[in-house]
Structure 1
Amino acid sequence: MLTKNKDIAIAGAGLVGTLLGIYLKKKDYNVTIFDRSEDIRKVKFSGRSINLAMSTRGWHALDEVGIGDEIRKIAIPMDKRAIHLKDGSLSFQPYGINGEAIYSISRGGLNRMMIDLAEKAGVNFEFGQRIWDVNLETATLYIGENEHGPFENRQFDQIFGADGAFSRIRHRMQRQNRFNYSQYFLNIGYKELTIPANEDGSHKIDPNSFHIWPRGEFMLIALSNDDGSFTCTLFMPFEGDNSFEEINSEEKLTTFFNEYFSDTKDLIVNLKEDYFSNPTSSLVTMQCYPWTYKDKVALIGDSAHAIVPFYGQGMNAGFEDITALSDLLDEFPNDIETVFEKYQEIRKPNADAIAELSYRNFIEMSIKTADVDFLLQKKIEAWFTKQHPDKWLPLYDRVTFSLNPYEDALAIGDLQKKVMEEVMQLPDIHENWQTKEVEKHILDLLDKNKADI
C-alpha cells in the first residue's frame, strides 16, 4: 500500500527520476533519489549528449506539476526542419500543420534545473551512491563502492528504477522466471560536436529550426542552445564506408566534411578537437516485461523502454509514464499493486509503438527529407488535413503535438501510409495534387479502408 509519508526510493537522478520525485513529493511521500554519478550541477557534462526536443507530452507532464513555465525559460522553439543538402542549398519543412513547434533544450541544462526544482520541492538526493542489487520482496537497495561489497542495506516501501537503459534495478528483475527482455543495437553510433555562438552571443544559423544534413547512411543534426551555441550530433555507422572506424585521422575527417558537410566549415570551428576528444556512443532499443514486481518495485522511462532518438520522444515518453502513474495513484491511492499492474498494462503497448516509430524515423530524417516525392506527400497531407481535419491528422502531428496514445498513432499512421502510397501513384500527381480529384480519391481510399483517421 502506498500511503502518505511512506518512504520511496528512486534509482537515477536523470530527467525521469527527478520529475517522478517531484510528482511523488507533491503527493506527500518521502522521496530519496540515488545516483551513481556525482551531482551534475558540480561537474562538466560528458560530451555524449543529444539535445532534447520537448513536445506536447513533455510539456503536459511539466505543467501538471507546475514547473512548465520555469523550464520554458531555457527552451527554444523550433517550428520547422532546415534541410541542408550536399550542394549547399537549404530548404525548410514546417513541423505542425498549424505552426506548432518542438522545443530545443540542453540535456545538461534541463537536468540541472530539474534537480534544483526537485530539491526545492523537498526531494532528497544522494549522489555518488552505487546501487549493485535490490531485494525485490523487501524493496531493499544494496549500495557500496563495488559489486563485491561491503553493502549498506537501505529498505524502502517502494522502489522505482529510473536508472536508464542499463538499469541495475531491471538487472535484478531480469533474473526472475518468465521475465522477457531484449536489446537491439543499431550499427549507427553518434558523436557530439558543437557550433559555438558568435562573439556577440548570437546564433550562427537559425535557432528556430531543427537543422538536418541528410546523407543517407549518415547524417548531421544541430539544435540550438540558449547561450547562442548549437549542439550537433553526427550519426554514422561504426564500421564500413564513411564510418567512425574509417574516419580515424585529421586528414580523413577534413576530407569527409569537405565532401559531405562543406557548409559547416565556418560553423563547427573546433571540429577536430570535438571529433577526437568526444566519445562515440551507441544507440540501443531495449524492451522488457513485466515492468513491476508486486507492490514493491517498478521500472519507468528508459529502464523500462529505451528507444533510439530519431523521433525526439524518449524523454517525452518517459514523462508520459509519470503522468499515467500519477493518475493511477490518484485513482487507487491505497492499492499500489493495482496501480502498478494498470500502469504497465497501459504503458507497455505505447512504449513498443514509439520504439517502432523511432526506429522508422531514422530513414525519414536521413534519406526522405531530401526526397521530392516525400516532400510532396507531406504537402498533400497538410493540404488534405486543412480540408478535412476530422478525417486526417498527419502521423508526426499525432505523435508530437497531441496526447493521443502512441499505439493509436502507429496503427493510424500505417493506414495513412497505405493511402498515401496509392495517392502518390496517381498520374501527374506532382503537377496536379491540389485538386478536387485528389481530394475525392483520398476520401474514397479512407472509406475503402474504413479508417477513422
Structure 2
Amino acid sequence: MSEQLAKIAINGAGPVGALLAVMLAKKGYSIDLFESRPDSRKTNIYQGKSINLALSDRGWKALQAIGIDEQIRQQAIPMYCRIMHDEQGQLTKLPYGKDNQAIWSVSRSGINEQLIDLAEQEQKVDIHFDHRLNQLNFEDNTAVYLTDGHHQVIHQSDLVIGADGAFSKVRRLMQELPKERISYSLEYMPQSYIELTIAASEDGSHKLEKNALHIWPRKDFMLIALPNVDGSFTCTLFMNHQGEISFSSLTDAQQVDAFFQRYFSDAMPMLEDPVNDFLSKSASPLCLVHIYPWLVNNSVALIGDAAHAMVPFYGQGMNCGFEDCRILAELVELHDHQWPKILDAYQEERKDNCDAIIELAKRNFVEMSDLSGEASFLLRKKIEAKFHQMHPELWVPLYSMVTFSPELPYKKALACGDIQNEIMAEIMRLPNIENDWQQDYVYQHMYQLAQQKLAPLGDQ
C-alpha cells in the first residue's frame, strides 16, 4: 500500500474515528469516514449516553499533534481536585496531582463536533452519515452499507478500520469469520448508570465549586458531578442494576425520593427534578471488551472502544482511544507507510497496554465509590503525596502515572501501582500511623521499601 494510492475506510465518526481521519489525511491518505447515525450537528444522537468526558494528558497529547488542543481547551473546564461529599454533607478535597495539574471536563458532543468540523476541512476526507455497515468482504475489503434503512451502497478500500465503539459492527463481522481464531469477551459490570442535572444558578454561576469533580461515595453506588461551561453540572449515578439498592429495586416516586433524601441530601436541593428524571430514564449498561487479534489479513483493524471498551472510572476511555490514534500515526512514519509492519507494530504496542487500563478502570470503581470516603484512604494519599515530593524520581502516584504521564505505558503504570499497593499496605500497618504519619521514620522505611521493590522497574 503506497502513500499515494491508499484508500482507507474508517467506520465510526465518534471522537476517535474523527480524530484518526484527520491524522491519516494529514499523512496523505484518502479517507472515507462512515457513521451509522445522523450528523450530530443537526440532530441529538447522544440521548442515553454520557455527555461529559474527562480529558487528560494522553488525550491532550494526541490533540496537540494535530493542533486542535487550544481550540478544545476553550470549551473545557479544568478540574484540579476531587471533592468528596459524605452523607452529612461534609466536604473533603483531594488534589489530583501537583499544582495546576488537572483533568478537564469536556462535552462529548462538543469535542466530537469540533473533530468532525476539522475532518471536513481536510480535502482528503469524505464523511458519510446515515451509512450503517451491513456486510464486509475481508478478502478485498468491499463493504456494503445501508442508507435510509434499505438502500445499499458498496464501497471498496485498501484498509478498513473499525472505530465504531463497544458494540462494533466491524468486530462482530470479524468474529464470524470461520477461519480466524479470534478470542473475544464482553463482560457486563454489575453497575449501570443514568444522567442527572444540576442547573446553573440564576446568574449563570455554578452551584458547586466549579474546578472540581464532585463525588458522593456510598460504597456500592455513587453520584458524580462534572462542570459544564454554561454553569450546570452533568451528574452520573452509578448503581447496581439489580439487588437491594439498585435501579431495579427503586420503582416508584416515594422510594426514589427517600433514596435521594437519605444518601444525597446535600445534592437533592440542587438536582433538577431528580425523582422524575430517575423514573423516566432507562439505566445504561457498563461493559468491558477484550478481543485478540485486532487485525484480519493486515487490512482490517480495530481501534478505540471497538478493541478495548472499558468502564469510565479512570476517565481514560477517550484518552486511551486518542492515544491509539497518535501511536498509529507515529508508526506510519516510523515504518515508512508499510502497512503490514505498521499494523503489526500497532497491535503489539497497544494490546497489553489497553488490557492494563481496562483492569485499572475496573478496580477504580472501588476507590471512587468506597475507599474515597474513608479516613484511612485519605491518609494514605497524603503519605503518598508527601513521599512523591521528597523522591519524585522514585515514586509517582498511580493516578498521576495514568493521567499525567503520557510517555509512560499503561502496563508499566499497572505494574508499578501493584508494587506501590504492597508498600503502602506495609506502611499503613505501622503502629500509630494515624498520628505518626509525618514522622521521619515512616518515610525512611518507605524509601527502603521503594528502593528494594520499585527501583528495579525503572531499568525495564
Q: Contact (CA 8 Å) 1:50, 1:233: kept in 2 or not?
A: no
> What is the rounded CA distance, in whole Å, between the counterparts of 2:304 and 2:255 in structure 1?
39
Alpha-carbon displacement from aligned partner over 1:339-384 (angstroms, at most 9, x marks no partner): 0001000000000000000000000000011111111110000000
More moved, 108-117 vs 334-343? 108-117
Q: What is the DSSP-based 3-state SS (H/G/I as helix, E as strand, rest coil) of the residue aligned with 2:384? A: helix
> What is the rounded CA distance, in whole Å, between the counterparts of 1:141 and 1:450 in structure 2?
50
Match of 1:287 among 286, 290, 310: 290
Relative distance call for 1:179 and 1:311 in structure 2 (3 A) is same
CA RMSD of aligned residues (A): 1.5
Alpha-carbon displacement from aligned partner over 1:129-153 (angstroms, at most 9, x marks no partner): 1101211221111112599x66332
> What is the rounded CA distance, in whole Å, between the counterparts of 1:110 and 1:250 in structure 2?
36
For residue 25 of structure 1, what is the amino acid of its counterpart?
A
1:390 paired with 2:393, answer: yes
> What is the rounded CA distance, in whole Å, between the counterparts of 2:182 and 2:40 in structure 1?
33
Relative distance call for 1:304 and 1:253 in structure 2 (3 A) is same
Match of 1:421 among 422, 425, 430: 425
Q: Which residue of structure 2 aligns with residue 125 of structure 1?
A: 127
1:168 paired with 2:169, answer: yes
> What is the rounded CA distance, in whole Å, between the counterparts of 1:326 and 1:223 in structure 2?
31
Q: Report the TM-score, using the length of structure 2 for normalisation.
A: 0.95
Q: What is the DSSP-based 3-state SS (H/G/I as helix, E as strand, rest coil) of the residue aligned with 2:244? A: coil
> What is the rounded CA distance, in whole Å, between the counterparts of 1:57 and 1:50 in structure 2?
20
Relative distance call for 1:279 and 1:450 in structure 2 (3 A) is closer
> What is the rounded CA distance, in whole Å, between the counterparts of 1:198 and 1:2 in structure 2?
56
Q: Contact (CA 8 Å) 2:193, 2:238: kept in 1 or not?
A: yes
> What is the rounded CA distance, in whole Å, between the counterparts of 2:2 and 2:59 in structure 1?
25
1:433 paired with 2:437, answer: yes
Q: What is the DSSP-based 3-state SS (H/G/I as helix, E as strand, rest coil) of the residue aligned with 1:61? A: helix
> What is the rounded CA distance, in whole Å, between the counterparts of 1:117 and 1:277 in structure 2?
36
Relative distance call for 1:94 and 1:128 in structure 2 (3 A) is same
What's the offset of the Cα at 1:450? 5.4
> What is the rounded CA distance, in whole Å, between the counterparts of 2:49 and 2:307 in structure 1?
21
> What is the rounded CA distance, in whole Å, between the counterparts of 1:146 and 1:118 in structure 2?
24
> What is the rounded CA distance, in whole Å, between the counterparts of 1:140 and 1:331 in structure 2?
28
> What is the rounded CA distance, in whole Å, between the counterparts of 1:444 and 1:6 in structure 2?
55
Q: What is the DSSP-based 3-state SS (H/G/I as helix, E as strand, rest coil) of the residue aligned with 1:264? A: coil
Matches within 5 A, 1:392-407: 392-403=395-406, 404-407=408-411
Q: Contact (CA 8 Å) 1:218, 1:237: kept in 2 or not?
A: yes
Q: Which residue of structure 2 aligns with residue 319 of structure 1?
A: 322
Q: Which residue of structure 1 aligns with residue 309 of structure 2?
A: 306
Alpha-carbon displacement from aligned partner over 1:80-115 (angstroms, at most 9, x marks no partner): 001010011111100003441000001112112221
What's the offset of the Cα at 1:393? 0.4
For residue 90 of structure 2, what is the amino acid of its counterpart?
S
What's the offset of the Cα at 1:5? 4.8
Q: Which residue of structure 2 aligns with residue 27 of structure 1?
A: 27
For structure 1, the residue ranges without an aligned partner over 5 or more in a row are none
Q: Contact (CA 8 Å) 1:188, 1:237: kept in 2 or not?
A: yes
What's the offset of the Cα at 1:295? 3.0
Alpha-carbon displacement from aligned partner over 1:431-450 (angstroms, at most 9, x marks no partner): 11112211110112123325
Q: Contact (CA 8 Å) 2:133, 2:143: kept in 1 or not?
A: yes
> What is the rounded CA distance, in whole Å, between the counterparts of 2:198 and 2:387 in structure 1?
38
Relative distance call for 1:81 and 1:2 in structure 2 (3 A) is farther
Q: Contact (CA 8 Å) 1:197, 1:229: kept in 2 or not?
A: yes
What's the offset of the Cα at 1:41? 0.7
1:296 paired with 2:289, answer: no
Q: Which residue of structure 2 aligns with residue 85 of structure 1?
A: 86
> What is the rounded CA distance, in whole Å, between the counterparts of 1:327 and 1:146 in structure 2?
37
Q: What is the DSSP-based 3-state SS (H/G/I as helix, E as strand, rest coil) of the residue aligned with 2:184? A: strand
How many correspondences in the alignment? 452
Q: What is the DSSP-based 3-state SS (H/G/I as helix, E as strand, rest coil) of the residue aligned with 1:288? A: strand
For structure 2, the residue ranges without an aligned partner over 5 or more in a row are none
Q: Contact (CA 8 Å) 1:415, 1:451: kept in 2 or not?
A: no
Alpha-carbon displacement from aligned partner over 1:208-245 (angstroms, at most 9, x marks no partner): 00000000101000001111111110001111111111
Alpha-carbon displacement from aligned partner over 1:115-134 (angstroms, at most 9, x marks no partner): 11211233221111110121
Matches within 5 A, 1:130-209: 130-144=132-146, 151-176=152-177, 177-209=180-212
Q: Contact (CA 8 Å) 1:140, 1:156: kept in 2 or not?
A: yes
Match of 1:224 among 218, 222, 227: 227
Q: Contact (CA 8 Å) 1:144, 1:152: kept in 2 or not?
A: yes
Q: Which residue of structure 1 aligns with residue 348 of structure 2?
A: 345
> What is the rounded CA distance, in whole Å, between the counterparts of 1:369 and 1:99 in structure 2?
21
For residue 419 of structure 1, what is the amino acid of its counterpart?
I
For residue 418 of structure 2, what is the amino acid of its counterpart?
D
Q: Contact (CA 8 Å) 1:2, 1:333: kept in 2 or not?
A: no
Q: Contact (CA 8 Å) 2:419, 2:454: kept in 1 or not?
A: no
Following TM superposition, the consecutive aligned residue runs of length 4 or more in structure 1 with deviations greater than 6 angstroms are: none
Identity fraction in percent: 46
For residue 20 of structure 2, what is the amino acid of its counterpart?
L
1:277 paired with 2:280, answer: yes
Match of 2:362 among 351, 359, 362: 359
Q: Contact (CA 8 Å) 1:220, 1:233: kept in 2 or not?
A: yes
Q: What is the DSSP-based 3-state SS (H/G/I as helix, E as strand, rest coil) of the residue aligned with 2:204? A: coil
What's the offset of the Cα at 1:188? 0.4
Q: Report the TM-score, using the length of structure 1 for normalisation.
A: 0.97
Relative distance call for 1:410 and 1:127 in structure 2 (3 A) is same
Alpha-carbon displacement from aligned partner over 1:304-333 (angstroms, at most 9, x marks no partner): 000000000000000000111011101123
Alpha-carbon displacement from aligned partner over 1:23-65 (angstroms, at most 9, x marks no partner): 0111121111111111111112314215111000000000011
For residue 405 of structure 2, what is the amino acid of its counterpart?
S
1:411 paired with 2:412, answer: no
Q: Contact (CA 8 Å) 1:133, 1:168: kept in 2 or not?
A: no
What's the offset of the Cα at 1:2? 4.3
